[in-house]
Amino acid sequence: MNFKHFIGFESNKTGHLEKWVSALGGLFGILGIILVSQYFLGEQEAAWVVASMGATAVLVFAVPHGPLSQPWAVVGGHLISAVIGVACARWIPISVVAAAVAVAAAIGSMHYLRCIHPPGGATALTAVIGGENIQALGFHYVLTPILINAAVIVLIAMAFNYAFHWRRYPAALAARPADKPEVAETTPNNLSEDDLETALQEMKSTVDISREDLEEIYHLARENKLTELLKGFRN
């Protein structure tokens, strides 16, 4: 194991166009969020909210097809985290404990609601430590600015990414093998790990999966296929 592998330094084969498009999308996304947040909170308190939405922008514009970037993850993750954060700020008198419980409860809730979105943790935390103006909003914080901000960035991501056929957002709009002409049954099925990694690189957009995860999926798929074949022989 070399040092790059140990620290998780992956080889990034994403083209320059994809990198610049991601950055430009982030610019438009955060510009919209800043305007909305400042309108409802003022400049100082808006900075706290924009911080969590900045992390959302990285996901929806840099990894638009990732499961953590999809609309339900973005809106649901921020929304449930905001509710939990406000509740903890109101009902737990010790701010340090309230902050820790808010983040922990947000993580657990996002798991159960299938809307895991890492920036949601910051949304929950902001409700507790974001200052008097944010705490004064109470549960209005959930709707304005959090729900509005989440909806704004999702809409911007949908409009912006639609201009690039390989980046359609949500991921359901992206072209998938099922949408393409069927491949002849004579196509070889003895794919190697390198074949899978090459295919992953040819997708153009960044995919949130490492070579190690890809190899594990490949081996598990082969093992499952072998198990099915053995069951067929036994029957």
Among 128, 143, 173, the domain boundary falls at 173
Residue with tokens 């991601």: 22
- Find the radius of gyration of the CA atoms of the chain: 21
Task: Report whether pLDDT(140) > 80.
Answer: yes
Please report which helix (H) or strand (E) contains residue 126, including its range: helix 119-129
Give domain status of residue 4, yes or no: no
56 is in which domain, residue-wise? Answer: 16-173
* Residues 165 and 210 occupy one common structural domain: no
* Per-residue pLDDT, 47: 80
* Residues 169 and 194 occupy one common structural domain: no
Residue with tokens 């491949």: 183
The pLDDT confidence band at residue 91, using thresholds 50, 70 and 90, is very high
Give domain status of residue 9, yes or no: no
* Residues 94 and 140 occupy one common structural domain: yes
Domains identified in the chain, total number: 2
What is the distance between the alpha carbons of residues 66 and 24, in angstroms, rounded to a whole number?
Answer: 18
Task: Report whether pLDDT(224) > 90.
Answer: no
* Residues 160 and 193 occupy one common structural domain: no
35-48: burial string, b at 16+ Cβ within 10 Å, e else: ebbbebbeeebbbb
- Cα 27 to Cα 21, 48, 81, 222, distances in angstroms: 10, 18, 25, 43
The pLDDT confidence band at residue 40, using thresholds 50, 70 and 90, is confident
* Residues 64 and 33 occupy one common structural domain: yes
Bin 14: left if φ > 0, else alpha if -120 < ψ < 50, else beta. Answer: beta
* Residues 155 and 227 occupy one common structural domain: no
Give domain status of residue 10, yes or no: no
* Per-residue pLDDT, 183: 46
Among 146, 173, 200, the domain boundary falls at 173
Query: In sequence order, which residues have a C-beta less than 8 Å from that of residue 34 and are 6 or more positions away?
Result: 46, 50
- Cα 215 to Cα 93, 105, 125, 192, 224, distances in angstroms: 48, 33, 36, 10, 14
* Per-residue pLDDT, 187: 47
**176 vs 125, more confident:** 125
* Residues 153 and 197 occupy one common structural domain: no
Least confident span in 12-21, 86-95, 136-145, 206-215: 206-215
* Per-residue pLDDT, 141: 94
The pLDDT confidence band at residue 229, using thresholds 50, 70 and 90, is low
Give domain status of residue 45, yes or no: yes
* Residues 66 and 160 occupy one common structural domain: yes
- Cα 183 to Cα 166, 176, 178, 189, 218, distances in angstroms: 20, 13, 10, 11, 20
* Residues 169 and 198 occupy one common structural domain: no
Task: Report whether pLDDT(192) > 90.
Answer: no
Task: Report whether pLDDT(12) > 70.
Answer: no
**pTM of the full predicted structure?**
0.79
Mean pLDDT of 73-99: 97
Task: Report whether pLDDT(51) > 90.
Answer: no
* Maximal C-alpha separation, the chain: 70
Q: Let me know if 151 is exposed, middle or buried by CB neighbors in 10 A (0-12, 13-18, 19+).
A: middle
Q: Are 156 and 29 in contact (CB under 8 A)?
A: yes
* Residues 67 and 137 occupy one common structural domain: yes
* Residues 164 and 223 occupy one common structural domain: no
Q: What are phi and psi of 59, to 5 degrees?
A: -70, -50
Q: Which of 76, 146, 150 is nearest to 117 (CA)?
A: 76
Least confident span in 19-23, 156-160, 170-174: 170-174
Give domain status of residue 3, yes or no: no
* Residues 157 and 212 occupy one common structural domain: no
* Per-residue pLDDT, 191: 67
* Per-residue pLDDT, 92: 97
**145 vs 194, more confident:** 145
